[in-house]
Amino acid sequence: MALAFRRDAQDPVCGDRTSVARISARLPVKIRSLFISDVHLGTRGCQAERLIDFLRHYDAETLFLVGDIVDGWRLRSSWYWPTAHNAVARELIAFAQRGRRLVYIPGNHDECLRDYAGAAFGAVEIVDRAIHRGLDGRDYLVVHGDHFDVVVRHARWLALLGDFGYRAALASNVWLNWIRRRFGFGYWSFSSWAKLRVKNAVNHIGRFEEVLSSEARRRNVQGVICGHIHHAAMHDDFGVRYINTGDWVESCTGVIERYDGHFEIVRWTDAQVELDAASFVPLAEAVA
């Protein structure tokens, strides 16, 4: 089966250093590995329907859930679990039941699962971190990343306060995109746009990337794959390959590893369900 995509020279969330694939709605594409994080099931901001569509477009050998898949912080204060969130859970269970490898690396919002680190439930492995050997010859440290966030580690009350403000920004996404759809425009994240224009937030992202890259070097690996800060990115700025999977409340991004060894950030928004033959470039058939 063939995969078709187009690249954007510059993306408003990921930046011009990131490869962003625009995927057409076709049969499932065989890939080696798939990485997603920060789904935040149990919150109103979770883009569950988009995630289900994304998962059904790929046939991966291994799926890495890189933390904050379920938002335990939010569920403890108020219960919200619509049908679409159940459907995501069923999709993940079905993946494991097909005999594929599913690795769950808990984050700070689903930290209760860290008590089960080292356990395996059928094809589901729960670990604090993993080392992934890429077909590009690199070893990647796969970790959520909250342990390297000073705010989360040393000022939990500030993290909770920030979470409240963040949810308010996400609520604005819902209303803005309802209006945009009425006028025929595609999905756009106000919270992502605003975050990248606040100097302190940009500095925090840069510092986070640098610290995670340093941890990868300390562990003698050549790359790191993480989540946590809801900012998809891929670059070599700090001496190792840094990959952040993004999230499924703002940018709707995941990372795929193809059979030619390339990693790509995939943005799954309204453009993915439209086939624009004039602007898509076909790739070679995926290797089984």
pLDDT for residue 270? 56
Ranges under pLDDT 50 in the chain: 1-25, 151-162, 190, 193, 198-202, 271-288
Does residue 141 sit within a domain? yes
Taking each helix axis from N to C terminus, what angle separates 48-56 and 83-97, rounded to the nearest 10 degrees?
A: 20
pLDDT for residue 173? 61
Does residue 96 sit within a domain? yes
pLDDT for residue 174? 61
In terms of phi and psi (left: phi > 0; alpha: psi -120 to 50; beta: otherwise), the region of 101 is: beta
Does residue 285 sit within a domain? no
**18, 256 Cβ separation under 8 angstroms:** no
Distance CA 51, CA 169 (A): 20
Distance CA 113, CA 104 (A): 9
| Complete DSSP assignment for 169-184 | HHHHHHHHHHHHHHTT
pTM of the model: 0.74
Does residue 12 sit within a domain? yes
**87, 288 Cβ separation under 8 angstroms:** no
* Number of folded domains that form the chain: 1
Domain hosting residue 236, numbered range? 4-278
Distance CA 215, CA 218 (A): 5
CATH of the domain at 232: 3.60.21.10
Does residue 22 sit within a domain? yes
